Structure 1
């Protein structure tokens, strides 16, 4: 599997030729320290650790063999130009130098690592391992994994049916798992129910996510699966040697929480996923050498799965952080390459879309020109899958919000692009709703689109609010959750507020036309913001806490909403009057 992944990496066209090729020789310092050597003179490891790099024997010339190297894999031509352009960044010399500097600084900071560095100087062939001795007293040092088991929750046939749903609706977009490995481990799991449960958190995560997208939902079974996965995952933060399966299980939990829980829970889970990935060293390429991760071994893991796990975890953490208004986790010295395309898989398209969102980094000053270019690049993607169209719309709305901050006058051409992408998002929301797929964008896209149309406040934008409200009502009728109902009532309140402000403007204009008895008796009309609105109409003001002052929202038990299950009872969606024309 490792050799196949290496051939894929060499022939994908994403990285530079030769980056993933196995070195045919190693220098003496790397041999003595049992480290990977890239074969250069001097090699990257010796440059990083300031060793004297030398090769005692001359390199023999070998005849070139014609093989598969350099030939593209099936489906590689389907990669979009945006993704090829976006993936060129990590291999640039500037990024490589920055990565090396970051890692050497991290190594210099580490007191845990220093005994190992000292041992390498004293005895390169038998240096002490990085065990964290001296970190603390070690009271109750040993922690074991959870003993919960999923085989008592669902049968093998039930899990298989849920896995089919997962492959059909989720894996095609978030393809970071190897279906063959999952099936292999699941088939053995029910043969011996008392065997190890080390992979149960992945199996439970798959089943719990599939339950959300399954028409025949069983809330009790879903709850037990979520609790089993959570209990096992909580223990992974305490064990010393997490694996890629732990990172993938946390990624599954992040997806589940993003669909089904408040933003704080999803954000915390996405951050934990990134920290688990750093603990494993998945953010590094296999050719990169770092003493910080010298005790971590991922050599037996498919390179493609490592890359996909890293990039999707980074994608979710960044997007959730952007939408929630929180900081994202930035891993120092990350050098993980862009993954390769796979036929009938749209993960690369999603990651390519994510690369555009790098312009939204809160630490960067968003220049209007850069944001406009990012929005045009977002609009250029031609997706056909509903979840991709929904993600495209969400990204477009985020870029527009940043653009409003950067410039008071957004170009009319850009506004037209935002409206066009938003309308596609509404169509995708209806498609996902009719399919019973509860992606988080299904309600978020029409909700945000209506808000943005109100914020634009032009004749063209206001004409599309009815379309957004109609879509959100269909979503509310289908899923019948308190949060969707509150989203609908909030948008309706915002529309009524906008209408009230316009009526006040009309009143001011009408007052200006009334004849006055004498110039001395004329008084200027009060400003709009100081006008009093009657209690029976609205008690809302345009302030930062607008949503929390909305009538009926102040006394809501929000915790109850997150604990109440979804009602996915089959309903008949209206076929008339809901066209997206």
Structure 2
């Protein structure tokens, strides 16, 4: 409550609920957020939501609205910035999450000293992020890398690569604030001796821009990747992770997914999500009740007018990190990371700004149901496949992701054991055809998304597995596209994909030829064993053929009498005239 309000001056205020730190330390709390006591002693102020009743929450919201009207802010903004908005609508979920938090804190040995410090009014024990007692600390932590992006390329060259990134990558994976990125990069080249804390993001953007550029400098790109790698690997371990570290690891994950092995991409995606967890970005709705387990690394979520862009950026970083880890884990057959107490809302999106990240996240939300630890009924999978086919995307990268998801659903249906119905096969083939077209357009535009090679490769495997005339008719287009990809990109992976599929197609053809040969022999053997067939063959052999002494065939159907072939006889024409002139009428009288 605003104590400066004229109507409230001179009154004694009764606080209905105190913050949790004040309860633990048994101090007087004024009910603010943060309260005066926590602000004075630099404690993290939060409220135990389970203790709040509906009436208490309503009173607190009314107090926030009153304070917002005095300070000139709208009631909606005041309520949004408070940490107790919507508690009455989610009391059960919050109670479950808080109980789980307590269990997690009880398991964590590093948390107990902080809890004990709160009870004993010890600021050092509660605020120290070094986790005393964790180990002996015999060796010092490594120093931050001193590499600099300014050593690799000039600012003008970086802007060219950044424009390529903004044109091809950012519309799909839009988790960076480009305006802030441009300003930071400008300052970075103006003062080359400034901190390189943001260089991992600058290098990652430039590396992806180089990957999608028609005239890429591979040596320069390699130096950019190595610079970002060294900065990320040192900064992520020697200090508290920052938003730049999270964004840098996501950029590295995207680059490795496009260019490196599945293991490297999977490891990078896991680190990205762990950095996000360490910062507490996955628990935005619980910003007022951050668990003590994250006290040494979590960053507070900015609130108030003017911070909406920062909040949006953090939300996007969380969702993209989670998306990449889940998809790479599913495709690679590895375990994905399940974060504890996840409660970050979906980002906001605006139409008309070339922003397709919302469509990407919608695809991801559909794919989350394909968890390998869940038994999914065939009807649910079929409905998901039907919903997937009804979506039409303008961007080829999204169409390729849509196709990969359709293939995943088909494989799950095939795993259930029952035969896949004809309608499902038609949906899969239809989506596969869309993927082939999108992949072909990406080749023509020189966009090396990982799906470009993956979609025709997986589609051909599925066509051979379906093994029907309606599926095999599309194998030629897929093989042609794979050959085109290998000739265009000229990489070992692309040639390997084409050679593997070509080999599988030839093996399938060989097996079919063997089956036809066996079937033909079976039919011929069956005909020769039938009695009527044998009699017919004997009759033809006696009446229509003659053999010489060595067994060679002498009589033919075009010479029924066979006389022309006998030694010393005239030609066939004379004998025909002779036989026609004979009169046999007396023989039948």
TM-score normalised according to structure 1 size: 0.75
Q: 2: CA distance between counterparts of 1:69 and 1:218?
A: 54
Query: Could you list the runs of 5+ residues in structure 2 that have no partner in the other structure?
Result: 1-14, 24-28, 36-44, 78-88, 531-589
Q: Are 1:38 and 1:287, in contact at CA under 8 Å, matched by a contact in 2?
A: no
Match of residue 379, structure 1, among 371, 374, 389: 389
Match of 2:329 among 317, 321, 325: 321
Q: Determine the C-alpha separation between the residues in 2 that align with 1:449 and 1:96.
A: 44
Matches within 5 A, 1:289-438: 289=289, 290-295=291-296, 296-300=298-302, 302-342=310-350, 343-438=353-448
8 A contact 1:390–1:428 mirrored in 2: yes
SS of the equivalent of 2:142 reads coil
Could you tell me which residue of structure 2 aligns to residue 544 of structure 1? Answer: none
The CA distance in 2 between the partners of 1:429 and 1:165, in whole Å, is 19
For residues 211-264 of structure 1, what are the alpha-carbon distances to aligned partners after superposition, in whole Å with 9 as ceiling and x for unaligned? Answer: 110011101100110110111011033123010110110000000000000111
Residues 377 and 327 of structure 1: is their aligned pair in 2 closer, same or farther, counting only changes over 3 Å?
same
Contact 1:205/1:229 (<8 A) preserved: yes
Q: Distance in 2 between matches of 1:204 and 1:293?
A: 29
Q: Secondary structure at the match of 2:152?
A: coil
State how far apart, in whole Å, the 1-side matches of 2:47 and 2:141 are. 34
Compare 248-257 and 372-381 and name the one that shifted more.
372-381
How far apart are 1:54 and its partner, in Å?
8.0
Q: Distance in 2 between matches of 1:160 and 1:466?
A: 42
Structure 2 distance, partners of 1:47, 1:70, is 20
Task: Check whether the contact 2:483–2:498 (CA below 8 A) recurs between aligned residues.
Answer: yes
> Residue 83 of structure 2 aligns with which residue?
none
Q: How does 1:103-118 map to 2 (within 5 A)?
A: 103-118=101-116
Checking the alignment, whether the CA contact within 8 Å between 2:266 and 2:329 is kept in structure 1 is yes
Asked if the contact 2:461/2:501 (under 8 Å) is kept, the reply is: yes
Is the Cα–Cα contact under 8 Å of residues 276 and 318 in structure 2 kept in the other structure?
A: yes
Please list the CA deviations of residues 293-329 of structure 1 after superposition, one character each: whole Å capped at 9, or x if unmatched: 2342243471111111111111111111111111111
Change (3 A) 1:409 1:98: farther
Contact 2:50 2:91 in 1 (8 A): no
2:18 to 28, 45, 68: 28
Which one has the bigger helix percentage?
2
* CA apart distance, 1:68: 7.9
Structure 2 counterparts to residues 26-425 of structure 1, below 5 A: 27-30=17-20, 32=22, 45-47=47-49, 62=66, 95-123=93-121, 128-131=126-129, 132-285=131-284, 287-288=286-287, 289=289, 290-295=291-296, 296-300=298-302, 302-342=310-350, 343-425=353-435
Q: Which moved more, 1:99-108 or 1:246-255?
A: 99-108
Q: Could you tell me which residue of structure 1 aligns to residue 473 of structure 2?
A: 463
Q: 1:94 to 1:181 in 2, by over 3 A?
A: same
Deviation at 1:281, TM superposition (A): 1.0
Q: CA RMSD for the aligned pairs?
A: 3.1
State the Cα deviation string for residues 129-157 of structure 1 (Å, max 9, x = none): 24310001111243321111110100000
Q: Provide the C-alpha distance between the structure 2 equivalents of 1:487 and 1:37, rounded to a whole number of angstroms.
A: 59
Work out whether residues 204 and 229 of structure 1, in 8 Å CA contact, stay in contact via their aligned partners in 2. Answer: yes
Any conservation in 1 of the 2:388–2:406 contact (CA below 8 Å)? yes
Matched residues in 2 for 1:396 and 1:183: separation? Answer: 38
The Cα offsets for residues 48-100 of structure 1, whole Å up to 9 and x where unpaired, read as 6999x989x986574997998889xxxxxxxxxxxxxxxxxxx9666544433
| Change over 3 Å in CA distance of 1:36–1:370 after alignment to 2 | farther
Question: How far 1:441 sits from its partner (Å)?
Answer: 0.4
- 1:488 is matched with 498
Contact 1:274-1:314 within 8 A present in 2 as well: yes
What is the TM-score when the length of structure 2 is the normalising length? 0.74
Structure 2: distance between partners of 1:26 and 1:344: 49
Higher relative contact order (CA 8 A, sep 6+): 1
Residues 429, 108 of structure 1: CA spacing in aligned structure 2 closer, same or farther, 3 A cutoff? same
Partner of 1:534: none
The separation in 2 between residues aligned to 1:49 and 1:213, in whole angstroms, is 54
1:505 aligns with 2:504: no
Instruction: Give the conservation status (yes or no) of the 8 Å contact 1:112–1:135.
Output: yes
| Aligned equivalents of 2:123, 2:478: Cα separation in 1 | 67
SS of 2:524 mapped into structure 1? coil
Which shows bigger deviation, 314-323 or 359-368?
Answer: 359-368
Mapped partners of 2:325, 2:258: distance in 1: 14
Give the equivalent residue in structure 1 for 2:574. none
Distance 1:147 1:28 in 2: 47
Q: Distance in 1 between matches of 2:436 and 2:76?
A: 42
Q: 2:91 & 2:455 partners in 1: Cα distance?
A: 39
Residue by residue over 1:555-576, the C-alpha shift from the partner in whole angstroms, topping out at 9 and shown as x without a partner, is xxxxxxxxxxxxxxxxxxxxxx
Contact in 2 for aligned 1:397/1:418 (Cα 8 Å) = yes
Post-superposition shift, 1:461? 0.8
Which position in structure 2 is the counterpart of 1:5?
A: none
Q: Secondary structure at the match of 1:284?
A: helix
- In structure 2, relative to structure 1, the CA distance for the partners of 1:384 and 1:69 (3 Å cut) is farther
Distance in 2 between residues matched to 1:457 and 1:403, nearest whole Å:
16
Indicate the residue corresponding to 2:565 in structure 1.
none
The alpha carbon displacement at 1:176 in A equals 0.3
Q: Which residue of 2 aligns with 1:451?
A: 461
Structure number with larger C-alpha Rg: 2
Q: CA deviation at 1:45?
A: 3.3
Q: Distance in 1 between matches of 2:97 and 2:486?
A: 47
Aligned residues: 471
Question: Counterpart in 1 of 2:4?
Answer: none
CA displacement, residues 405-425 of structure 1 (integer Å, 9 cap, x when unaligned): 014211211111111111111
